[in-house]
Structure 1
Amino acid sequence: MDYKESVEYLYNSRPYGKIKYGLFRMKELMDRMGNPQDSYPVIHITGTNGKGSVAAMITSVLVQMGLKVGLNISPHIISFRERLQINRQLVPEHKVAELLEDIVPHLHEMDKKGEEFSPSFFEVVTAMAFHYFRQENVDVAVIEVGLGGRYDASNILKKPLVSVITTVGLDHRKILGNTEKEISREKAGIIKPGVPVVSGVTRPSIRRVIEGIARENDSESFFLWHHFDAKPIKMALGNNLFEYIGENYYGDLVMPLNGTHQYQNAAIAIKTLEIAVKGLKENLSVDVLRQGLSKTQWPGRFESLRAFGKQIVLDGAHNPDGIRTFVESVRSYFNNQRIRILFGVLDDKDYINNIRLLSEIVDEVIVTKVSSHRSNSPERVFREWKKYRDNAIYIENPKDAFCELLNTEKPVVFCVGSLYLISEIRNVIFGGKENA
């Protein structure tokens, strides 16, 4: 198989979006492959929001330390290759094909046992990441949970350096539970015996759930606002200044990632690094930390771009907690001005509350359909917007909708909602689309 055939195989033969519960398939697949995930240290990260940003910051600093760092994320924004990275370099196309070809014989043997034993898309991609990082002999891998925690394909890791739970909110309720306490138990399922836990959870009731599970595992836990914190000094797009207060104090740190929430994400990342470097028998200097943070890149998260004569802000906020943060960030960076947005979200998200929250700052909205099998009724989203804005318009094609977004005297426009939509708009801005 070549690269294109490999990606088509993953999406079609291992149907993308099909959730399979349990870890028995992943355990069998890893056993067949010689358990590559046990051959290098790992930092394991879950959370409703922020886990990608935290993973990116941690990776950037570890690379700055001179380490060879694997990074496994989901979803991707532009290319499937983003899911497997080493030192922030995307996996080469030919390597995707090679990794999959190594795994396919095992998949076929497992498929013979029936549908229940047939590995899913996410399980296969996670296996590819573990296999890739062992082949490349990484010093450490940063592994982002795809969904939840307890039954996520990545949760066969035996003893990470640190288990990270960024935030807990009401997302994927059909899968993870109807309350934040239920969801927090699912996410806390990544906690392993004796492995330190770092969390950005601040709500006392949720924190107590995580603390309890950590105690059961004899794992020391560290929480934002209790054991560490970050405070903004200056907010400026692409050049945010803050200080960190924790085991160590670091002042005048620069963070290119935008948003009021990114200070908390940075605090989580730094606390995680303080613990992880001990396990790696490395030292973290303030100069390396400062340089690593300043080089962090993470597209599609309150990302500010200049194109077509406009400033365009892209944000993949797709649940109420993410939307609240988006609203706070708009108010902080743009002086409470009313804004014009392009909005598109998947059917399984809480779009009703998303729209209610956004209506506080939006005076012009264009609704579009997200290019995904999970976007079946964008008209319902549009009807909900009409309750708040009579001038809301619906344009089904995202590219046409984006052209209409730009048709304004406003110097700044916003695109917010599904990461699938953000991906599509970035492709328009940068003039090309990779079909993977």
Structure 2
Amino acid sequence: MKIRNLAEAEEILADYRPAVKEFLGKGITLDRMKPLMDVLGNPQDKLRVIHVAGTSGKTSTSQYIAHMLRLTGSTVGLTASPHVNSLLERVQVNDKVVPEQTFCEELSGFLELIKDVAPQPSYYELLVAFAYYYFAKVGVDFTVIETGLGGLHDGTNVAQGRDKLCVITDIGYDHMKVLGHTLPEISAQKAGIIHPGNYVVMFRQAPEIMQVFHSHCHTVGAQLQEVRPELINEFVFDAQMPLYQRRNWTLAWSVYQRLANVYDLPVIQGDTLEQSRQLVIPGRMEIVHQSDQTVLFDGAHNSQKMAAFIASFQELYPGIKPVVLLSVRDRKDFTDLVEQLFDVAEEIILTSFHVVQDIEHRNARLDEIAQFCEQHGFHDVVVEPDQHQAYLGLIRASGSVKVVTGSFYLIQQIKDREGLS
């Protein structure tokens, strides 16, 4: 099998989507990943893995860690999901996606190796395994792996070596049908990435969260480092850097300090320290200028992320009430997320999206969101299912600062269709 381009790769990967259906519930396990990794020779065991789990900030923290390691001379592999602009984002080396031709050639060989594996892995699991396989093949110094969902049963959790460094970002409410309905239940799922001998770095969070992590680390014999939230204030950040990214960067910096001590890496200081903060991460307070318009793309898709976005927006643009183009995924409780926009937005334009990655991702019903807004006293709502027309309406609306938010899938489609990728 020879894959010639990314379109062909997407077409072949589509055959692995049906396997996901069996995972949309409590029955998620690693049963598919283990035989898959065995066939590949368990490449994850040959890597220095930095494993990142949490509700909010995983991708940003992962990218900051990888960026710091690259700036100080290491070769770094990174995989994250979902992708925002391109499938190629699933396999990155040294802050860059693997070139399309290389990606397709390597994926062709990989698929040949696993063609007889049973049971068939899902789309997501296959890409996780491919990332481990590719990073081991090229011999990166470090691999930064972001969980897709939870941690305990996530496909990335086949990495269980004693030298693994675990990173836990902020814990909040998301994917509750699978992960649980309380913070301790959700925390237990995230803590599942921690194995015997691991070192764990996380910000000090609510006592009910920390109790879960302390207990789990004690049980498995892992060491937990609590980062003081006040540490953020000891750094000088550019005024344009979002508040939540300052927190993510500080956590990444703490992780790098641990890695530097263990592996005798260079100290981050001076220009290197400054460069480490300048990384632009797609879909995270990403600023795009169109003529005289400033459009902020932020994939805030749960209440915790929306609160973080709003705090950062209000610091960056004090006194400005933007027009907001919004869509949220179906099967999500959108109420807390949407309600936070009532005191912030001048107007909310609701639109649709439909993206197929590991599974089909669709928007929640626009009439239900509009009705919720009206019932709670917010009447400046426009429903425009046509995404292109909705975006034109956003650009034509009064005001110089606009926002697109609520879903990374919405951002992906708009940037593709409007030529902004």
More deviation, 380-389/8-17 = 8-17
Structure 1: runs of 5+ lacking an equivalent:
112-116, 232-242, 245-251
Aligned to 2:214: 211
**1:318 aligns to 2:305 (yes or no):** no
Call closer, same or farther: CA 1:290–1:18 in 2, change over 3 Å.
farther
Aligned to 2:378: 389
Could you report, residue by residue, the CA deviation over 1:352-405 in whole angstroms, capped at 9, with x for unpaired residues?
Answer: 111111112112110001223332523322322233322211111212101001
Identity, in percent, stands at 30
Call closer, same or farther: CA 1:382–1:99 in 2, change over 3 Å.
farther
C-alpha contact (below 8 Å) 1:338/1:361 kept by paired residues: yes
In the TM superposition, 1:5-404 aligns within 5 A as 5-15=8-18, 18=21, 20=23, 21-111=28-118, 117-159=119-161, 160-225=163-228, 229-231=231-233, 243-244=234-235, 252=236, 254=238, 258-287=241-270, 289-372=272-355, 373-375=360-362, 377-387=365-375, 388-404=377-393
Deviation at 1:349, TM superposition (A): 2.2
Deviation at 1:19, TM superposition (A): 5.9
Call closer, same or farther: CA 1:405–1:202 in 2, change over 3 Å.
same
Quote the Cα distance in structure 2 between the aligned partners of 1:277 and 1:299: 27
Call closer, same or farther: CA 1:333–1:196 in 2, change over 3 Å.
same
Quote the Cα distance in structure 2 between the aligned partners of 1:377 and 1:282: 50
Quote the Cα distance in structure 1 between the aligned partners of 2:303 and 2:142: 33
C-alpha contact (below 8 Å) 1:64/1:291 kept by paired residues: no
Deviation at 1:254, TM superposition (A): 4.9
C-alpha contact (below 8 Å) 1:6/1:96 kept by paired residues: no
Structure 2: runs of 5+ lacking an equivalent:
none
**1:414 aligns to 2:414 (yes or no):** no
Deviation at 1:82, TM superposition (A): 0.7
Call closer, same or farther: CA 1:413–1:122 in 2, change over 3 Å.
same
C-alpha contact (below 8 Å) 1:161/1:279 kept by paired residues: no
Residue type at the aligned position of 1:306 = H
Could you report, residue by residue, the CA deviation over 1:223-258 in whole angstroms, capped at 9, with x for unpaired residues?
Answer: 2327x7211xxxxxxxxxxx34xxxxxxx45596x3
Quote the Cα distance in structure 2 between the aligned partners of 1:78 and 1:403: 20
Quote the Cα distance in structure 2 between the aligned partners of 1:316 and 1:278: 34
TM-score, normalised to structure 1, is 0.88
Residue type at the aligned position of 1:286 = Q
C-alpha contact (below 8 Å) 1:62/1:292 kept by paired residues: no
SS in 2 for 1:168: coil
C-alpha contact (below 8 Å) 2:148/2:154 kept by paired residues: yes
Quote the Cα distance in structure 2 between the aligned partners of 1:191 and 1:81: 28
Quote the Cα distance in structure 1 between the aligned partners of 2:374 and 2:242: 28
Quote the Cα distance in structure 2 between the aligned partners of 1:95 and 1:278: 34
Residue type at the aligned position of 1:264 = R
RMSD, matched Cα: 2.0
Quote the Cα distance in structure 2 between the aligned partners of 1:340 and 1:58: 34
Deviation at 1:288, TM superposition (A): 6.2
Residue type at the aligned position of 2:361 = R
Aligned to 1:238: none
Call closer, same or farther: CA 1:10–1:57 in 2, change over 3 Å.
same
Quote the Cα distance in structure 1 between the aligned partners of 2:86 and 2:19: 15
Quote the Cα distance in structure 1 between the aligned partners of 2:124 and 2:254: 29
Deviation at 1:262, TM superposition (A): 1.5
Quote the Cα distance in structure 2 between the aligned partners of 1:287 and 1:18: 50
C-alpha contact (below 8 Å) 1:150/1:190 kept by paired residues: yes
Residue type at the aligned position of 2:170 = T
Residue type at the aligned position of 1:28 = P
Quote the Cα distance in structure 1 between the aligned partners of 2:278 and 2:354: 31
- Counting matched residue pairs gives 407
Deviation at 1:123, TM superposition (A): 0.9
Deviation at 1:46, TM superposition (A): 0.8
TM-score, normalised to structure 2, is 0.91
More deviation, 21-30/144-153 = 21-30
C-alpha contact (below 8 Å) 1:253/1:290 kept by paired residues: no
Residue type at the aligned position of 1:176 = L
Quote the Cα distance in structure 2 between the aligned partners of 1:86 and 1:386: 47
Could you report, residue by residue, the CA deviation over 1:281-305 in whole angstroms, capped at 9, with x for unpaired residues?
Answer: 3232313651441342211111122
Quote the Cα distance in structure 2 between the aligned partners of 1:379 and 1:17: 29
Deviation at 1:125, TM superposition (A): 0.1
